[in-house]
Amino acid sequence: MNDELHFEQQATKFRDRYTAVKDEVGKVIVGHDEIVHGVLTCMMIGGHCLLEGAPGLGKTLLVSTLSKVLDLDFNRIQFTPDLMPADILGTNMVVENPDGGRSFQFQKGPIFTQICLADEINRATPKTQSAMLETMQEGTVTASGTRYVLKKPFFVLATQNPIEQEGTYPLPEAQLDRFLFKLNVGYSNREELSTILDRTTKGEKIEPQKIMGGEEILELQELIRKVIIADHLTDYIVRLTLATHAEGPLAADVTNRYIRWGSSPRGAQTIVLASKVRALLEGRFNVSFEDVRRVFLPALRHRVIPNFEAQAEGVTSDQVLLELLDAVPEKE
């Protein structure tokens, strides 16, 4: 009974702190509740998030607002076609010593931070984008044979314009797989747009307050991993993930028809952890099937690659994944 009370108190604390951050972000960001939830979920898990949407929808504003609410170091990198890996990671510079001699000294790049806003990440070439691979996976930077460890917590929050727009490059699949969630940012509705105009055209300036620091974030990340997930739910997530593998033993008909490559194990890991966040937000210390269904799309939409037939017929990865949810039974 004491354990149950302790778990309930921990879940309540998590929900209260999470809500405090979300409410403070909401003072600046109008609407986009699911997008804000997705970004905060990635942060609580300790992973990275990719925001995709047309220009002017508040993607960059959301990330910059979050950096003001969290007491963490923040850097912004504006990705452009002429950006080089050294512009992100840093480079060796010749410096003059007090005795008149000269030596090489490593000048750290903007990736040495805790929240990195990779703005319009798909405007850089694949060579430059690949500079992020080690950092996003391991939280380290290797330069000139020296390995540097970044301060924790560390998040990359990237924005991108839709791939079909002019002047963009598709992100490498290995890099996409390192993002926990891919969130599609849509247009505001009538009421939200009216509120945006009221807030931004009357000379009022809203400054969000600091709510949470790095130590507390790391504590909440540890709490998330303690949430219970039953074996039959783990098996359900495994079957959902394997169902995305074309021609595999658990592949659904829609997979064989429209998917070229399916999800990696990172997809299943993301579903488990994100489901635990949802459970805590509902005041539970155990994962449910509904938790899994709610995080399924953002966790896997960028990890399954449609084939030529899907592209020709205009079938999106979201449509295929939604059919998989219907095709894969909860228990088997």
Our measurement of the distance from residue 224's CA atom to the centroid of its chain's CA atoms, rounded to an integer in Å, reads 16
Cα separation, 204 vs 317, whole angstroms: 41
Whether 34 and 129 share a structural domain: yes
**Which of 193, 226, 259 is a domain's end point?**
226
Write down the pTM of the prediction. Answer: 0.89
Same domain, 106 and 195: yes
Give the CA radius of gyration of the chain.
21
Within this chain, do residues 39 and 134 fall inside the same structural domain, yes or no?
yes
Would the pLDDT of 103 be above 80? no
Asked if the structure places residue 145 within a domain, the reply is: yes
- The 3-class SS string of 206-261 reads CCCCCCEEHHHHHHHHHHHHCCECCHHHHHHHHHHHHCCCCCCCCCCHHHHHHEEE
Number of folded domains in the chain? 2
pLDDT at position 268 = 94
Residues 276 and 323 in one domain: yes
Residue 92 pLDDT level (bands cut at 50, 70, 90) = confident
Q: Which residues face 117 on adjacent strands? A: 76, 157
Residue 103 lies in a domain: yes
207 lies in some domain: no
What token pair was written down for 248? Answer: 């595999």
Residue range 301-306: mean pLDDT, rounded: 91
pLDDT in tens, 218-228: 999 998 998 98
Same domain for 40 and 134, yes or no, is yes
Question: Residues 193, 78: one domain?
Answer: yes
Copy the structure tokens of residue 249. 């033993």
Query: Do 272 and 284 share a structural domain?
Result: yes
Are 245 and 102 in the same domain?
no
CATH code for the domain of 278: 1.10.8.80
Q: Among 170, 193, 226, identify where a domain stops.
A: 226
In terms of domains, do 13 and 154 share one? yes
pLDDT, residue 1, reads 47
Do 245 and 142 fall within a single domain? no
Taking the C-alpha atoms of residue 231 and residue 222, their distance in angstroms, rounded to an integer, is 21
Question: Is 282 within a domain?
Answer: yes
Domain of 55?
1-202+212-226
Does one domain contain both 63 and 12? yes
252-278: per-residue pLDDT in tens?
888 889 899 888 999 999 999 999 999
Give the CATH number of the domain where residue 6 resides. Answer: 3.40.50.300
What torsion, rounded to 10 degrees, do the Cα atoms 61, 63, 68, 71 define?
A: 180
For residues 222-241, give the mean pLDDT: 92
Please give the pLDDT value at position 267.
92
Residues 28-81: pLDDT tens digits? 888 888 888 999 999 999 899 999 888 777 888 888 888 889 988 899 999 988
Q: Is the predicted pLDDT of residue 165 greater than 80, yes or no? A: no
pLDDT band at residue 242 using 50, 70 and 90 as cut-offs: very high
Taking each helix axis from N to C end, the angle separating 33-45 and 2-26, rounded to the nearest 10 degrees, works out to: 130
CA distance 303 to 288: 23
Q: Are residues 164 and 312 in the same domain?
A: no
